[in-house]
Amino acid sequence: MGKQTTTVNWVGVLNSTATPQDIVDAPGAGKTVVVEDLTMTVEAGCLLEIVMETSGTRLAAWFLPAYGSAYLMNTKGNAAGKRVQVKTSVATRVAVMHNYHLEG
């Protein structure tokens, strides 16, 4: 396992659709994102997915009702240099709060 870098705290509201939206900054070459904890709340009922940039590999997914919440912890991205993203099955706002760090 590579050297761990500083944890990043981020809070935001995204207008999400089937097009993935970034929830982390670009990690840089050779770095892998590790989500320590991630809490999300959706405004409309939907399928909420956490995916990897480019490949679309699903890391987690939930069917949520309107104003439903999901929680994820200790999940490592499966590709170096790629962002972790969120997408939804319908247009909705997603509130996101998380901590993550980079390895590599």
Cα 104 to Cα 82: distance, rounded to the nearest angstrom? 12
**Is the residue at 97 inside a domain?**
yes
Q: Does residue 1 surpass a pLDDT of 80?
A: no
10-14, 31-35, 70-74: segment of lowest average pLDDT: 10-14
Quote the number of domains for the chain: 1
The predicted pLDDT at position 104 comes to 85
Nearest CA among 39, 34, 33 for reference residue 13: 39
Domain of 58 in residue numbering reads as 8-103
Q: For 5-21, what is each residue's pLDDT tens digit?
A: 556 666 678 888 888 99
Percent of all residues in the chain with a pLDDT value above 70, rounded to a whole number: 89
The predicted pLDDT at position 84 comes to 93
**Is the residue at 2 inside a domain?**
no
Q: Considering only residues 9 and 72, tell me which one the structure prediction assigns the higher pLDDT.
A: 72
The predicted pLDDT at position 3 comes to 57
The domain spanning residue 28 has which CATH number? 2.60.120.220
Confidence tier at 71 by pLDDT (50, 70, 90)? very high
The predicted pLDDT at position 6 comes to 54
Give the residues across from 17 on adjacent strands: none
**Is the residue at 1 inside a domain?**
no
Nearest CA among 74, 77, 85, 1 for reference residue 32: 77
**Is the residue at 57 inside a domain?**
yes
Can you tell me the mean pLDDT for 20-29?
88
